[in-house]
Structure 1
């Protein structure tokens, strides 16, 4: 796994693709929503400059091939509705972390599972990862359900791991092995 090029992936309803500076307004709309960032370790964005900074970081990562970050776009409309990324990559150990966010008006429609499925399949089969990890706030039941639907298993609980939005927050750690991914029933 010497590099992590970010390809364009397609699903039935989504296109996962590299972010561009043209995505700033759509990305700002996602991360300026307090509901979306409720369980993230950052406050809601207050200007498009926040989106531009994040996109700049993604562009740096594309250049140095240090992580894979996708914009999630509705195939039918071309509107960017979120992100999914494989980051904190440890090549020697063939593992990384995954993070994702969707605009709140698109919750409950199966887009998160669809996007994660494409990103995970790419990670396991193209990047040859063996393990993908996620950590979430235990109060974020919807995110936990998405991870479990994708085959992730709860592996640990860490009380008061993060200071988020003025309060200490716990973490549930999840892990997904390639062997779990490959053994899941066809979907």
Structure 2
């Protein structure tokens, strides 16, 4: 059950939950990691604490798309972030995620995003969502395809942690095609 400012999602191993300012050091360490930041649009490396605090504040859950959630293991250990972009007049909401490199390859991204999208696509009556990944991050593409995303084509993306735009692969997910990985 979700209420404004809060929501409850659980998987076998994870709890995507509201992102809070007390998560700043974990989010800074993970998102600002030199392997993670170049895969994100709005994050640099290093990622100053004040910038992370502003980033979290702008992305807190307010009962509508346009927020991020902490991906946590037991005992509130933050291992990543899942996000759902605001509604767009020219297309579906976008989604994104990042996971601590220490936890790569363990299925956490698929598990967290499957539950996150199943919950919020239904809650907000979203028939589809969009996503993309930089082409030098094929593992992210594998996660998206595992969840049921369909490739639409190629594009170009920017990241504050990259010197120049880089190729991306574009995806869409229809709610009917979502494969939650719990």
TM value normalised by structure 1? 0.84
C-alpha RMSD of the superposition: 2.5
Partner residue of 2:119?
A: 122
Partner residue of 2:68?
A: 69
Contact preservation (8 Å) 1:137, 1:169:
yes
Change (3 A) 1:142 1:4: farther
Is there any run of 5+ residues in structure 2 with no aligned partner, and where?
A: none
Partner residue of 1:135?
A: 132
Q: Distance in 1 between the 2:68 and 2:76 partners?
A: 17
Aligned positions, number: 178
SS of 1:30's equivalent in the other structure is helix
5 Å-filtered alignment, 1:161-180, equals 161-162=157-158, 165-180=162-177
Moved over 6 A (4+): none
Partner residue of 1:46?
A: 47
Contact preservation (8 Å) 2:114, 2:180:
no
Q: Give the drift of 1:64.
A: 7.2
Contact preservation (8 Å) 1:84, 1:116:
yes
Q: Give the drift of 1:31.
A: 1.5
Q: Give the drift of 1:67.
A: 2.1
Report Cα offsets for 1:55-105 as digits up to 9, x if no partner.
11123xx34744242111112x32111110111323897x31001001110
Is there any run of 5+ residues in structure 1 with no aligned partner, and where?
A: none
Q: 1:80 aligns with which of 78, 88, 92?
A: 78
Q: Give the drift of 1:124.
A: 2.5
TM value normalised by structure 2? 0.86
Q: Give the drift of 1:166.
A: 1.1
Contact preservation (8 Å) 1:30, 1:36:
yes
Q: Distance in 1 between the 2:19 and 2:181 partners?
A: 30
Partner residue of 1:14?
A: 14
Instruction: Answer with 1 or 2: which has the greater Rg.
Output: 1
Q: 29-38 or 62-71: which moved more?
A: 62-71
Report Cα offsets for 1:94-131 as digits up to 9, x if no partner.
x3100100111011111000110111101232221100
Which protein has the bigger strand share?
Answer: 1
